[in-house]
Structure 1
Amino acid sequence: MNDLPDSSVPCVFCEIIAGSVQCAVVMEDATTFAFMDTDPGSDGHLLVVPKKHSADLTDISAEDLTATILTAQRIAKKVLSELGADGVNLLNCCGIEAWQTVFHFHLHVIPRYRDRSKDRMELPFEPGIPVGPTALAEYAKVLAAAL
């Protein structure tokens, strides 16, 4: 099974950045572009993307990643103060199995509210179910050796 995106399909985020696809722009600077998500999980849910195309977290340059996360942080602060959110999630999905559907690196800035009428998001996993120390040690050993 091929889990790679179809490279013959134009990148909708590149088209949004170029202005050929309409969006509700939140902000733009020399490196990043932020716009409202058209299928939001909560009121005020938006996306922050680098202007330079990179497919995902493993493909983005350190410079573009830094600029994108700093823009997301700046916006997250305003989501809290201006939209009255009670919290905020930053989410990146890297790969089809991780729910990535647009293969242009992006961060979701998702306002979170106690008021469930403003917040339709639910956790996709059940936190609080610990993994044994042997499994944790093995994952750590494999990753530490690779780094």
Structure 2
Amino acid sequence: MAGAAPAWITDQDDWTVSFLDISPAAPGHTLVVPRTHADDLWSISSEDAQKVMAAAHRVAGRLRDRLRPDGLSLTQANRAAAGQEVFHLHVHLVPRYVGDQVRRAGSAVQAGPEELAATWESLRSPADS
């Protein structure tokens, strides 16, 4: 049930609520969540996704101004294969500091031009032809 668990709410509006992660990767680690249920990015409406990103932008500014991090990581996982554990769309904002031990998502292996070209061919817009 929404609102049943205690939360450290840092920001809210009619469409979103933002609160501190109870298992923070770094101090200030905040989740931005739409009030309307959507399992993941593929199931949220474009309009609601825009509202989530507007809230993430607003909260990121507050994190920058109040905590003075050296950087910020923004992540969002979709479905179990990507590491999603809570099946309600949410965006993680993690303040970052030079030398912190927060793990970076992704691979450090550089893709070759052939791999990039093949992927680009499958993703590019027909207008790019």
> TM (normalized to structure 1)?
0.79
1:108 is paired with a residue of what secondary structure? Answer: strand
In the alignment, which of 6, 9, 18 is matched to residue 25 of structure 1? 9
Q: Is the counterpart of residue 138 in structure 1 residue 118 in structure 2?
A: yes
Partner Cα separation in structure 2 for residue 25 and residue 115 of structure 1: 28
Q: 2:88 maps to what in 1?
A: 104
Other-structure match for 1:4? none
Matches within 5 A, 1:1-147: 15=1, 18-114=2-98, 116=100, 120-127=101-108, 129-144=109-124
Offset, 1:146:
8.5
State the alpha-carbon separation in 2 of the partners of residues 114 and 131 from structure 1: 26
Poorly superposed stretches of 4+, deviation over 3 Å: none
Aligned-residue identity in percent: 33
- Could you state the TM-score of these two structures normalised by the residue count of structure 2? 0.90
Q: Write the distance in 1 (CA, Å) between the matches of 2:89 and 2:75.
A: 11
- How many pairs are equivalent? 127
**C-alpha distance in structure 2 between counterparts of 1:19 and 1:111, whole Å:** 25
Structure 2: stretches of 5+ with no match in the other structure:
none
